[in-house]
Structure 1
Amino acid sequence: MLNPFAGRGLDLIYIAKVWLAAVLTYFFALWLEVPQPQTAVISVFILMQPQSGPVLAKSVYRLLGSAGGLGMAVLLIALFGQQGELFIGALALWVGLCCALSAHYRGFTAYSFVLAGYTAAIVGAPALGNPAEVFTSALWRALEIGLAILCCGVVSAVLLPQHSGQALQQALNRRLGELAGVISDALAGAHPGGAQRQLASDAVLWDNLRQLAAYEAPHWGARQGWLQRLNGELMALATTFNAFMHALAAMPCRERAALEPYLQALRTTLEARRGQPLAMAAAPALAEHFAAQQQALPAGRGRPAAIAWRLLDDLLGQLQRCALAHAALEQAAPLPATAPFESLTSPWLSLAAGVRGSVLVAVLGGFWYLSAWPSGPAMLLSAAAAVSLACTTPNPRGTGQQMCQGALLGSVLAFIDYAYVYPALDGFPLLALAIAPPILYGAWLTTRLPTLGIGLGLLVTFASVAIPANTPLYNLPWLLENCLATLVSFAAAAVAGAVLLPSNAPWSWRRLNQALQAQLAFAASAPLAHLRQRLESRTRDLLHHATALAAGAPEVQGQLLASALQAQMAGLAIIEVRQALAGDEAAQAVQPLLLAWAQGARPPLAAGLALLEGGGPGRQRARDYLGWLQVAQNVTDTRRQTNTTPGANL
C-alpha cells in the first residue's frame, strides 16, 4: 500500500546517484590523501537510499554510531593493546552488546548501534599490532565517514531528489480511503485477514515516513504531533471495527436485523470513499457526516445487543475523529501532548542477536590471534560488519547467505578489474569508468528485496579489495587472501544465523506470541494517560515484526495475527472499563479482577458485572465492555477446546 517510489525510472536514477556519490567521495578522499579511501566508499554504499530523508537520517545516526565506535576502539586499545586475547574478548562483548541493542530498537536508532559495533572493529583490529597509531586511525576514519556523509547528502538532495515527504503525502491522502474499503468489504461479508496484516504494517511504515519527512522540510516537522495523532486514531479505528465485527457475529439474527439500516448507511458512505484521496478541505464535511450518523443511532438499546450498539457508536465516533485529525493537519494547530509510536521487541530476540554477534567475533578473532593470518584483521572487521547488519533483518541466516553470494561475485569482479583492467588505465576519469559496472550492478541488486543482501555483499567486497588506495599497490596474492577472508566471514555469519538461536524459528515465534499476550497485563496495569494509543502501537509493531520473522510460514502468521487481534480487542475492553470507572469507588473492586484476567487467571467476570449494577453512564459503559470481555473469553475457550488457540502450534 505504501509504495510510492516503485518504478524502473526511479530505480535507474537511484543507481546512477549511487555511482556518482561513490566517485565523488573517492575523488575527494584521494585529493585529501586519506589512508583508506575504501572506507569512505563503503560508507556511501551503506548510506545511500532512494529518498533524501533516509539519507539525512542515516547520516545523523551514522555520525552518532561512528563516534561511539571510534571512542570504544580507542578505549579498548588503551586498555588491552598489549593483550590480544583480552582485546578480542572485549571487542566480542562490545559487538554483541551493539547487536542486541540494534535488534531491540530497530529503525535508524538501531543503525547507530550497528555502526558503533563494527566501527570499533574497523579501527581496533588493524591497530592491535600498532597501538600507538589508534588515535590517528580513529581521526582518519572520522574524516572518511564525514566525507561520505557530505557527498551522499549533496547528491541525494540536489540531483533529481526524491523526498520522503512525497511518500507521506500520498499515504496521507490514501490511507483512510484504503481503510474505508477494508471496512466496507468486511461489512459485506469479506474476510479481512490479509488486509489486517497490511494495516498493521502500514501503521509502522507511516511512523517511519513521519520521522523521515521531518528531516527534509519544516512543513512536516511542524505537523509531527498531528501525524502521530492521526496514526493513533487510525489504529484505534481498526481495533474498534474488529471488535464490532466480533460482537456482530455473536448477535442473534433477530437482534442483528435492527442494526442493518445503520450498517447499510455506513457502508454506503465508506464505499464512496473507497480508494479515494481525502483532501484536507473535505475532511470536516466528512466528519460532520459521520457525526450525523452517530446521532441517528437510537437510544435505550436492549441488554443482549448493548455492546454491539456501543461499539457501532464508538466506531462512528472514531471515524469522525480520524477525519478531524486529517483536517487539522492543514492548519498545523497546536496539539496537546500525545504518545509517540512505541516499538516493542522481545528481550529474548535481542539477547539472541547479541549472543550471535559475540560468539562470531570471538571465534574468528581467536582464529586470527592463534593463526597470525595476515588477512585476519580483514576477516574480523568483515565478520563484525556482517553480523551487525544481519541482526537487524528478520532472517540473519538468509542475509548472511546472500552477502556471501555477493562477496563471491564481488571477488570475481574485483579480480577482473585488478588483474586486467587497472593495468591499462591512466587517470582518474578512466578509473571512475572502470569501477562503474560493478557498482551499478551491485546498486541495481540492492533495489530488489530478494537480492538486497547480494548487492550489499558485492559492493562492500568490491570496495574493500578493489578500490585503489592513495598509493596503489599491485599485489594479487593480497587481493585473493582478502577476498577469501571476506568470504569466510560472511559464510560464518550465515552459519551463526542458522545455528545460534535463529530468529526465524519456532522459539522466537513463541516468544513473540507471549509478548502479544502480555499486552493484556499492560492494558490492565499501566497508567491511563495515552494508554489506548500505546497499546495500539505496541501490538502492531509486534505483529509487524512477527510477520517478518514468520515469512514463509503462513499458518504461523495467521496464528500470530489472531493473537494480536485478541490482544487489541481485549485490551480495548480493559482500557474502556478502566476509563469509565476512573474516580468511581467500584474501580477498586474491579481493577484486581481485570488484572487477574489479563494475567491469564481468567476469574469469572460475573462478580464484576454484579458490582456495576445501577449507577450512571460510566458504570453502564464499563458494564457493556466487561460483558464484551466475557464474550471474548468464551470465544478463546472455544478455540482452546478445538486446539485452534492463537499460538497453539507455535
Structure 2
Amino acid sequence: MTAVANRMPMRFAGFPIGAWAFAWRTWLSLVLALYAAFWLQLESPATSALTVAVLAFPWRGQGLEKAAYRVFATVIGLIASIAIVGLFSQTGWLLIAILGAWVGACVYASSLFDGFRSYAAVLCIITVCLIAVEPLDTPQSVFELAHERGAAILIGILSVTVVNDFLFAPDYFPTIAGRLEALHRKVSAVAASSMHGVGLPSEDVAALLRAITALRPDVTSLGTETSVGPARSAAARTAMVDLVVQLEVSRSVAALTASPSGGVDDSENKNPAPPTISKSTSKTAALALNWMKSELLRRDRNVATSIRALRRGTTLENARRSPFYRSHRIALENGIRAFAYFVLSAIALAIAGWPSTSVALAFVGILIGLAAMSPNQSAATTLALVAVPIGCLLAGVLEFVVLDGVTAFPLLAIGLLPFIMLPALLLTMPNPALVSFGRGILVFTIAVFAPSNPQTYNPQTFLFACMFLSISALLLFVCQHVFPPLSTAGKLQILLSEARRDILMPVTGTHSQRERDEALFRDAVRVGQIVSAAGTENSDAPLIEEALACFDRAAALRLADSALGMLPPDTPVLLRETAMSAVRDADSSAMLAAAEAMICTETEKRCPTEDAASALAAAANLLGLTAANTEKAK
C-alpha cells in the first residue's frame, strides 16, 4: 500500500501559479481590447476595457457564460435607453421617475435570480445609466452612444474569448466535480451514521444544504465551457438534487431507526387515537424502515453515477433541474428601495445645482445595481465607499506618475500591467470580500482612468471623474441610512412565512418523482438563503430550526405524494380514496392505518401495494415526528 502525498500547487509571491496565469490573461485581454478599440477609432474604448474587467474570471466557462448574458443584457439596455429617452426626453421629472422605475424593475428581476442571470438584470441598469442617464443634457446623442458602446462591449467580449482559448484557460468542471465529491463524502458519512439511528445536528444539516445549493450558479456555467458542457451541467445539477434527497433520506432513516414505533404524534390529528403499537404497526414500521434504507442506497448510487457522468462528459438519463427559490416579496422590497435611492439621489443633485450632475446620477444607478447582487447591500455600498478612493488614487498614479504624457501604445500596455494584475490576483482569493474588493478596484481604476486615443492627461477631467464617483458612492450610502435596505430579520421572517405557507399546499399524488426531487431542492435553496441571511448569529438559531422543520415536513408530505403515485391501477377504490384523504389532511394516524390496510388485505407473498404501503408508512411516521419538531421550533 503506497501513500500519495497531496501536491501543493506551486506558488510565487504568495499566489499559486494558476492565479498568476489568470492575471496575465486578464492583462492581455484588456490590452487586446484597447488595441482593437483604438484601431477601429471607437469613441468609447474605455468601455471595452471595462468589459474585460467585468468578465475577468479564472475559469473559461464562467467568462463565456457571463459574456453571453452581457451581450443579451446590453441589447435589452440599448433598446430601453433609446425608447425611454425617445419618449420622455422632454418631460423633466417624469423622465427621472421613469429611469428610477427602470432601475427598480431591474433590481426586482435581479433579486429573483442568482449567478449571471442576476448580473444580466443589473447590467440592464448599467447600460441605461451609461447611455440614457449620463447624457441627459444631450438626448440627441443617445443613439450614437448606444451604437458606439455596443460595439465596444462586443470587442471586450471577443478579446476575453480569444485570449482564454489561445492561452488554454482551465475548465471549471474538475473543480465542480471535486466539490461535489467532497460533499458526497460528507453526506455518505451522515448516511452511514443514520443506519445506527445517529442524526446530524440541525445547524450542521442546514449548513450542508447551503453548501450543496450554493454550487448552483457555478454549475450553470459548465454549459458554455465545451461541446459536452450541457451534458456536464445536467450531470452536476442531477448530482446536487440527489445529494439533497440523500441527505433528507438519511435524516429520515435516523429518525425511524431511533423511533421504530413510528413516532406518530396524534395530538395534532383531528380524531386522535390512543398511540398503541399493534403487530401490524410493528410490521409496517419495519417495512417502512427497510424501504427507506434501500432508497438511501439507491440515492447514494445515483450521486456517484452523476459525478462520473460529469467527469466523463456523458449524457445522463433522467437528468434533474435545480430550480432556484424566488421570493417575490423580497424582490419587490428591494425594487422599491432601489427606485427610492435613485429618485432621492436625483433630488439631492438637483438641489446642489452642480454642473454635469447627470454623471454622478449615472454612477449612483450603477452602484445601486452592483449592490443589489450582494446579500448585504449596506456592506456592498460601504465596500464601494472604500474601493472608490483607492481606485481613484491608483488611476491618478497610473495617469500622472507612471504614464505622465505617454502616447505610445506599448508604453500604455506596460504601464497598465501592475494596475491590472494586482486586482486580478485578488479575484482568485477564496475570501468573497477580497474578491469583491479586487473587482471594485479593477473596475473603478479603469473607469476613472478612462483610456482614450489619444489620452488627454487633463487634471480637471480626472478630478471631476473622481469627485462625481465619490459623490455617487456617498449619496447612496446616505440614502441607505435614510431608507435602510430590507433587514436580515425582515428577510428571515418573509422566508419563514413562505416556508410555512408551502407546507400547506395540497398533495395530489399526480407529481412525478423528478418533480418531487426538484421541489425538494427548491426548498433546500430556501433553507440555504435563510442560513445565509442568519449568518453566525446565535439569536437566529431557532429560526434555522424552524426552517429545517418546515423542510422536513414538506419532504414527508412529498414522500406521501410519492406513495400515492406507487399505487397499482387495480388498487381498490375505497383504499385509494382513504389513502388520498389521509394524505390530503396530513393525518399521520390515518396514513399509517391506510398503509396497514394495504399490507393486511393482501394474502400473496409479495403484496403489489407493499412499496406504496412502505413509503406511506414512512411518510406517516416522519410526519408525526416533524409535526412535533415544527411546533417545538415555533
TM-score with structure 1 setting the length: 0.82
| Contact kept in structure 1, 2:112 and 2:326, CA below 8 Å | yes
Which consecutive residues of structure 1, in runs of 5 or more, have no partner in the other structure? 254-298, 598-603
- Tell which deviates more after alignment, 554-563 or 74-83: 554-563
Percent identity between the two aligned chains:
20
Deviations 1:528-576 (A, max 9, x none): 0222222222012212222222223255367426523424532443323
SS at match of 1:127: coil
- Cα distance between partner residues in 2 of 1:342 and 1:500: 32
**Equivalent residue for 1:14?**
22
**Does 2:384 correspond to 1:395?**
no
**Equivalent residue for 1:196?**
205
- Tell which deviates more after alignment, 516-525 or 483-492: 516-525
**Equivalent residue for 1:453?**
436
Could you tell me how far 1:80 is from its partner in structure 2?
Answer: 1.0
Could you tell me how far 1:351 is from its partner in structure 2?
Answer: 0.9
| Matched AA of 1:350 | A
**Equivalent residue for 2:266?**
none
1:322-401 matched pairs, under 5 angstroms: 322-325=303-306, 338-401=319-382
| Contact kept in structure 1, 2:122 and 2:370, CA below 8 Å | yes
**Equivalent residue for 2:155?**
147
**Equivalent residue for 1:502?**
485
Could you tell me how far 1:25 is from its partner in structure 2?
Answer: 1.6
Deviations 1:370-391 (A, max 9, x none): 5443342222222222111221
**Does 2:536 correspond to 1:552?**
yes
- Cα distance between partner residues in 1 of 2:403 and 2:227: 47
**Does 2:196 correspond to 1:213?**
no
RMSD, matched Cα: 3.3
**Equivalent residue for 1:91?**
99
- Cα distance between partner residues in 2 of 1:452 and 1:225: 28
- Cα distance between partner residues in 1 of 2:218 and 2:577: 42
Equivalent residue pairs, number: 591
| Matched AA of 2:547 | S
Could you tell me how far 1:50 is from its partner in structure 2?
Answer: 0.6
Aligned partner (choices 594, 601, 624) of residue 583 of structure 2: 594
**Equivalent residue for 2:142?**
134
1:39-50 matched pairs, under 5 angstroms: 39-50=47-58
Aligned partner (choices 124, 128, 132) of residue 132 of structure 2: 124
- Cα distance between partner residues in 1 of 2:339 and 2:178: 42
- Cα distance between partner residues in 2 of 1:19 and 1:331: 33
Could you tell me how far 1:220 is from its partner in structure 2?
Answer: 3.4
- Cα distance between partner residues in 2 of 1:94 and 1:634: 48
**Equivalent residue for 1:543?**
527
- Tell which deviates more after alignment, 363-372 or 66-75: 363-372
Aligned partner (choices 400, 404, 419) of residue 423 of structure 1: 404
1:22-33 matched pairs, under 5 angstroms: 22-33=30-41
1:223-622 matched pairs, under 5 angstroms: 223-251=232-260, 302-325=283-306, 338-448=319-429, 449-495=432-478, 500=483, 502-503=485-486, 505-522=488-505, 524=507, 527-529=510-512, 530-556=514-540, 559-560=543-544, 563-564=547-548, 565-567=551-553, 569-581=555-567, 583=569, 584=571, 585=573, 586-591=575-580, 593-597=582-586, 604-611=587-594, 613-614=597-598, 615=601, 617=607, 621-622=611-612
Could you tell me how far 1:206 is from its partner in structure 2?
Answer: 4.6
Could you tell me how far 1:125 is from its partner in structure 2?
Answer: 1.3
SS at match of 2:507: helix
SS at match of 1:302: helix
| Contact kept in structure 1, 2:82 and 2:143, CA below 8 Å | yes
| Contact kept in structure 1, 2:188 and 2:300, CA below 8 Å | no
Bigger RCO (CA 8 Å, 6+ sep): 2
- Tell which deviates more after alignment, 535-544 or 333-342: 333-342
Distance verdict in 2 for CA 1:324–1:153, change over 3 Å: closer
Could you tell me how far 1:114 is from its partner in structure 2?
Answer: 1.1
Distance verdict in 2 for CA 1:368–1:469, change over 3 Å: farther
Deviations 1:306-328 (A, max 9, x none): 43233223223333444455566
- Cα distance between partner residues in 1 of 2:261 and 2:281: 18
- Cα distance between partner residues in 2 of 1:5 and 1:209: 25
| Matched AA of 2:250 | F
Could you tell me how far 1:108 is from its partner in structure 2?
Answer: 1.9
- Cα distance between partner residues in 1 of 2:515 and 2:534: 28
1:169-184 matched pairs, under 5 angstroms: 169-171=177-179, 174-184=182-192
**Equivalent residue for 1:275?**
none
Deviations 1:281-300 (A, max 9, x none): xxxxxxxxxxxxxxxxxx99
Could you tell me how far 1:86 is from its partner in structure 2?
Answer: 1.6
TM-score with structure 2 setting the length: 0.83
| Matched AA of 2:503 | L
Distance verdict in 2 for CA 1:185–1:15, change over 3 Å: farther
- Cα distance between partner residues in 1 of 2:256 and 2:493: 28
- Cα distance between partner residues in 1 of 2:155 and 2:384: 25
Could you tell me how far 1:174 is from its partner in structure 2?
Answer: 4.8
Deviations 1:90-112 (A, max 9, x none): 11111111111111011222221
Distance verdict in 2 for CA 1:485–1:187, change over 3 Å: farther
- Cα distance between partner residues in 2 of 1:545 and 1:11: 30
- Tell which deviates more after alignment, 485-494 or 619-628: 619-628
| Matched AA of 1:556 | D
| Contact kept in structure 2, 1:42 and 1:463, CA below 8 Å | yes
**Equivalent residue for 1:106?**
114
| Matched AA of 2:525 | D
Deviations 1:450-486 (A, max 9, x none): 2233223322222122133224334323322322221
- Cα distance between partner residues in 2 of 1:89 and 1:5: 54
Deviations 1:558-607 (A, max 9, x none): 7426523424532443323332347553444544543444xxxxxx4434
- Tell which deviates more after alignment, 492-501 or 70-79: 492-501
| Contact kept in structure 2, 1:236 and 1:536, CA below 8 Å | yes
- Cα distance between partner residues in 1 of 2:451 and 2:305: 58
- Cα distance between partner residues in 2 of 1:315 and 1:553: 33
- Cα distance between partner residues in 1 of 2:406 and 2:317: 63
- Cα distance between partner residues in 1 of 2:257 and 2:589: 22
Deviations 1:235-255 (A, max 9, x none): 3222111111111222379xx
Aligned partner (choices 37, 58, 62) of residue 54 of structure 1: 62
Distance verdict in 2 for CA 1:87–1:592, change over 3 Å: farther
Distance verdict in 2 for CA 1:168–1:471, change over 3 Å: same
Distance verdict in 2 for CA 1:231–1:450, change over 3 Å: closer
Distance verdict in 2 for CA 1:516–1:581, change over 3 Å: farther
Could you tell me how far 1:527 is from its partner in structure 2?
Answer: 4.6
Distance verdict in 2 for CA 1:160–1:570, change over 3 Å: same
**Equivalent residue for 1:278?**
none
| Matched AA of 1:516 | A
Deviations 1:213-253 (A, max 9, x none): 22122233345544444443333222111111111222379
| Contact kept in structure 1, 2:557 and 2:583, CA below 8 Å | no
| Matched AA of 2:360 | M
| Matched AA of 2:108 | A
| Contact kept in structure 2, 1:407 and 1:454, CA below 8 Å | no
Distance verdict in 2 for CA 1:531–1:640, change over 3 Å: closer
- Tell which deviates more after alignment, 91-100 or 580-589: 580-589
| Matched AA of 1:425 | V
Distance verdict in 2 for CA 1:301–1:592, change over 3 Å: closer
Could you tell me how far 1:150 is from its partner in structure 2?
Answer: 0.8
Could you tell me how far 1:73 is from its partner in structure 2?
Answer: 0.3
| Contact kept in structure 2, 1:523 and 1:575, CA below 8 Å | no
| Contact kept in structure 2, 1:408 and 1:458, CA below 8 Å | no
